[in-house]
Structure 1
Amino acid sequence: MPSRRTLLAVGALTASAALILAGCSGSGESADPGKTFDPDEKVTIDFAFWGNDDRASRYNDLIAAFNEEYPNITVNPSFSDYPSFWEKRQTEAAGGNLPDVFQFSDSYLRQYAQSNNLLDLDTVSDYIDTTTFEDSLLGTGALDGVQYSLPTGYSLWANFVNDDLLAAAGIEAPEGGTSAEDFDDWMASVTEATGGKPYGGTDYTQRIQNFELVLRAKGENLYTDDGELGFTEDELSDFWHSGDAIRDGVVIPQQSLEELSPKSGFGAGATASEMSWSNFLGGYLADSGASSISMIAPPIAKKGAKDLYRQAGLQVAISANTEHPEAAALFLDFVVNSAEAGEIFGTTLGYPASSSKLAGTTLEGVDKQVADYIDAQADRIGDAPPVPVAGYGSLEQKFWDLGKELGLGTLSVDDAVSQFFSEADTVLG
């Protein structure tokens, strides 16, 4: 029996042919009006993503499944770590030669859409099913009414703990949702007990998401609806200064992290904890080789605050300059919608955002653990923040880079704050 995607493709081909026979232009029916799509034509498309070896292995399996249905479409995958991924995309975007399909982030939505680097997915709507998404999730990839990308899933910010390392050291796991000070004390106790093998954790003040939680606990956000910074220099200074004590022998030294890259300290088994998005669980298990990793709530700045939110930032987009928009759309649809994607990825790309992908996901083991964590935080989940401003991705990376310099001791907090606000002035105009 033909699959839904095959029926979509064949239906689109028939519709396009009918338009041509009727002498119509076909405008709006495909990315190249008047050009029919031959589903049997042999084409090659490039696909780029950020991630680790575990994610690469899963994508290889997904591409193999895609090729069982579309043997004529060759997909060339490539991946790198997150910073390198966006450095390369920036260069490609400037030259108008982005990959046909690529993992995307809502952090860059305004920047890439407003510079006409992303394909309007409505132009290939015959090949992509968007009825499987809730409107709120569709909105994470839309700007000014135009759908530019689709989410693979959604995640919550979480604190990961390596149970194996703690058991070996005879140390109890920390309690979730405590104050940052209490969690700092726990990390210090781990480092002291183990002599830094492993360290208690990493310097979480490097990540803008942890600063965001502090702001949201006060009813603020990183950015306003008008595209301005939502915080002051003093607030950022206080946050970075809050990491002074843990950077002094409590968390893993930044130089050690540089040597472990592209693995994180937690992924390399060099730290007992690390904060990141909930969909990282599968990758952390694969990188660290741990038999058990717990997910607990991150520190909270104000009890009862609704500082967490469903983050559907991991998206998939198509280059506006792709020479094979229909083939690219079929692959994008397979990544975000297919039952095969649900089976292969589970929750490692986020809790499935589409109903059809979720239908293929067996929520057991790691995937059930992620789902249970999300359910457990229901009372702490608030409204999503404003749509990321143009240049948010660059500012997120700048925040991380400055945090690393603080860890290396090559920059003072005052200078880091000054540099961040200077960068924000430039990026936000």
Structure 2
Amino acid sequence: MPSSLDRRAALRLFGAAGLGLAAAACAGPGGGSGAADAGTSPSALATSGTPTGTVSFAHWRAEDKAVIADLVKAFVKKHPDAGVEQDISPSADYQSAALRRIQGSKTGDLFTAFRGAQFEQIVKAGVYAPLTTTGVLARYQASLIGPGATQGVQYGLPYQLVFNMPLANTDALDKAGHTSAPTDWDGFLQLLDDLKAKGFTPIAWPGGDAANAGQLLNTMVMNNAPSDDMFTRIESGRYKVTDDWFLKTLEQYGELKPYFQARATGSTTDAVTQLFAEGKAGLLATGSFQMAGVRALGAEFPFDLVAPITSPAGKAKYEGVFNTTFILGVNSASTVQPAAYAFLEFLSDPANAALYADGTGQHVTVQGVEYTNTDLKAVAPWLTRKTLLAPRFQFLDLDIRSAVENAAVAVVGGKKPAQAAEEAQRVIDQKRA
């Protein structure tokens, strides 16, 4: 596998040094100051006693199954009276049905949650056993676990640190004559033109997959919006999608239309990932979480991340976006809480977290982890860039989020930006009525 560490230094190190992930996590929206009302008070977490019984671990990452299975084997050697069974659902199903399945501990003694709407929903239902007073919190970077807390209580621990921005085939960028990433909108469009001229699909975008079509929106709005909490304000009614800044974003989606693959608005994530893995596309508009999946399809070219900078030269506030998600929590109704907590502690050990990270291609929020995975090292410079906490997860109403994201899909499908915005705003107004 070719390494991008030396060849792509110019691409990864463009621009001035950023403020860093820690600063972005503290300042960004969604950083743990949620307004949820935990209507059901969960019972205290049982952490003492010998871990016994089989822990049901509910999550959505089937691609992590083998790595987690190896970690489970090591866990059982340490705690022979305990076991772990993975209960895995596709991400879309997990998003919609996880609460119903884990409530009452039918499954998910230890479980994960998406940042934002799902996390807040599970908190309100009282499913989390609070972790605030446990020792496991000290193993995590404090600046990155805010999305697992609300009203001063740490309910879950975001385990994954990902970058929700286009993944780049840097061999393709080399062939297009680009050894540094664009720093303005004109430069980004020029990059796409040059990729197209060399026979590449400039951007592979899963416009038909609701779970991932909106990932691109994170970076499209990061420098257009008048405030970092732009989607919180759209949901509350303080901003509208008919405002000039969002209309500009939709107009820029229209400018991107010629650079997407054919029938982009109906494309699945699997289809565009395959296109990218075959070396036929310059950018994959999902995120760093796709790196392992692309490698599994046989790709050998080096990776980096390239975000669309939608602002004029010298006006960008952010270089990219990140997210902390895969929020680990212990079920308040679990009958094997000591074992579930012990497995959470086990995953939180830096050595075990490193095995998870290197094996799955995911950065983690655990302190003291040293990565050996080539791809994680390749995108590691983004850990110190000026990045915004991914704004699409600010939405707590998923119907409103869908309306906003669907407006962008509609524009790529041929609808006028103003019309797409007006239709989306009607849905938002109805939901808020």
Question: Above 0.5 in TM-score?
Answer: yes
Counterparts of 1:314-325 in structure 2, within 5 Å, are 314-325=326-337
The total of aligned residue pairs comes to 381
Which residue in the other structure is 2:186 paired with? 181
Structure 2 portions without partners, runs of 5+: 1-41, 208-212
Residue 58 (str. 1) matches residue 67 (str. 2): yes
Partner-residue secondary structure (3-state), 1:183: helix
Give 1:342's aligned amino acid: A
Residue deviations 1:12-38 (CA, integer Å, cap 9, x gap): xxxxxxxxxxxxxxxx99536xx9744
- Which has the higher mean CA deviation after the structures are superposed, 363-372 or 254-263? 254-263
Residue 77 (str. 1) matches residue 91 (str. 2): no
Which residue in the other structure is 1:266 paired with? 276
Following the alignment from structure 1 to structure 2, what is the Cα–Cα distance between the partners of residues 362 and 220? 31
Q: Do the aligned partners of residues 36 and 322 (structure 1) sit closer, same or farther apart at CA in structure 2, a change above 3 Å counting?
A: same
Partner-residue secondary structure (3-state), 1:301: coil
C-alpha contact 1:222 1:231 (8 A) present in aligned 2: yes
Q: Do the aligned partners of residues 81 and 349 (structure 1) sit closer, same or farther apart at CA in structure 2, a change above 3 Å counting?
A: farther
Which residue in the other structure is 2:37 paired with? none
Q: Do the aligned partners of residues 90 and 362 (structure 1) sit closer, same or farther apart at CA in structure 2, a change above 3 Å counting?
A: closer
C-alpha contact 1:187 1:251 (8 A) present in aligned 2: no
Residue 135 (str. 1) matches residue 145 (str. 2): no
Q: Do the aligned partners of residues 392 and 133 (structure 1) sit closer, same or farther apart at CA in structure 2, a change above 3 Å counting?
A: farther
Residue deviations 1:212-245 (CA, integer Å, cap 9, x gap): 31345x4443245897256432333331222223
Following the alignment from structure 1 to structure 2, what is the Cα–Cα distance between the partners of residues 423 and 96? 35
Give 1:142's aligned amino acid: A
Deviation of 1:66 after TM superposition, in Å, equals 2.3
Residue 146 (str. 1) matches residue 153 (str. 2): yes
Which residue in the other structure is 2:222 paired with? 213
Deviation of 1:142 after TM superposition, in Å, equals 0.7
C-alpha contact 2:50 2:338 (8 A) present in aligned 1: no
Give 1:104's aligned amino acid: A
Which residue in the other structure is 2:29 paired with? none
Following the alignment from structure 1 to structure 2, what is the Cα–Cα distance between the partners of residues 262 and 326? 42
Partner-residue secondary structure (3-state), 1:43: strand
Deviation of 1:315 after TM superposition, in Å, equals 2.1
Give 2:229's aligned amino acid: N
Deviation of 1:149 after TM superposition, in Å, equals 0.8
Which residue in the other structure is 2:376 paired with? 367
Following the alignment from structure 1 to structure 2, what is the Cα–Cα distance between the partners of residues 226 and 246? 24
Residue deviations 1:182-222 (CA, integer Å, cap 9, x gap): 3233223323431xxx4111359843312331345x44432
Give 2:79's aligned amino acid: Y
C-alpha contact 2:275 2:281 (8 A) present in aligned 1: yes
Which residue in the other structure is 1:171 paired with? 176
C-alpha contact 1:161 1:295 (8 A) present in aligned 2: yes
Deviation of 1:143 after TM superposition, in Å, equals 0.3
Following the alignment from structure 2 to structure 1, what is the Cα–Cα distance between the partners of residues 104 and 257? 40
Residue deviations 1:301-341 (CA, integer Å, cap 9, x gap): 25253324653234222333333222222222223334122
Partner-residue secondary structure (3-state), 2:73: helix
Following the alignment from structure 1 to structure 2, what is the Cα–Cα distance between the partners of residues 319 and 249? 45
- Which has the higher mean CA deviation after the structures are superposed, 74-83 or 92-101? 92-101
Give 1:202's aligned amino acid: A
Counterparts of 1:293-304 in structure 2, within 5 Å, are 293-302=303-312, 303-304=314-315
Give the fraction of aligned pairs with identical amino acids, expressed as a percent.
14
Give 2:341's aligned amino acid: A
C-alpha contact 1:48 1:79 (8 A) present in aligned 2: yes
Larger Cα Rg: Structure 1 or Structure 2?
1
Residue deviations 1:76-135 (CA, integer Å, cap 9, x gap): 22445533331232553688756222332222332321232333224xx55x51112343
Which residue in the other structure is 1:31 paired with? 45
Q: Do the aligned partners of residues 399 and 334 (structure 1) sit closer, same or farther apart at CA in structure 2, a change above 3 Å counting?
A: farther
Partner-residue secondary structure (3-state), 1:272: strand
How well do the aligned residues superpose, as a CA RMSD in angstroms? 3.9
Deviation of 1:390 after TM superposition, in Å, equals 6.2
Following the alignment from structure 2 to structure 1, what is the Cα–Cα distance between the partners of residues 272 and 103? 26
Match of 2:352 among 323, 326, 340: 340
Structure 1 portions without partners, runs of 5+: 1-27
Q: Whose RCO is larger (CA < 8 A, sep 6+)? A: 2
- Which has the higher mean CA deviation after the structures are superposed, 384-393 or 299-308? 384-393
Q: Do the aligned partners of residues 76 and 143 (structure 1) sit closer, same or farther apart at CA in structure 2, a change above 3 Å counting?
A: same
Counterparts of 1:13-412 in structure 2, within 5 Å, are 30-31=44-45, 37-39=49-51, 41-50=52-61, 53=63, 55-89=64-98, 91-92=100-101, 97=106, 99-108=108-117, 109-122=119-132, 129-165=136-172, 170-173=175-178, 175-194=180-199, 198-203=200-205, 206=214, 207-216=216-225, 218-224=226-232, 228=236, 231-232=239-240, 233-234=242-243, 235-248=245-258, 250-254=260-264, 257-258=267-268, 260-261=270-271, 263=273, 265-267=275-277, 269-287=279-297, 289-302=299-312, 303-307=314-318, 308=320, 311-346=323-358, 350-355=362-367, 358-359=368-369, 361-363=370-372, 365-375=374-384, 377=385, 380-381=386-387, 391=396, 395-408=400-413
Deviation of 1:389 after TM superposition, in Å, equals 5.0
C-alpha contact 2:145 2:324 (8 A) present in aligned 1: no
Following the alignment from structure 2 to structure 1, what is the Cα–Cα distance between the partners of residues 387 and 259? 33
Give 1:417's aligned amino acid: A
Give 1:31's aligned amino acid: L
Give the alignment's TM-score, normalised by structure 2. Answer: 0.72
Residue deviations 1:17-67 (CA, integer Å, cap 9, x gap): xxxxxxxxxxx99536xx97442x3324132223x63x3332233223322
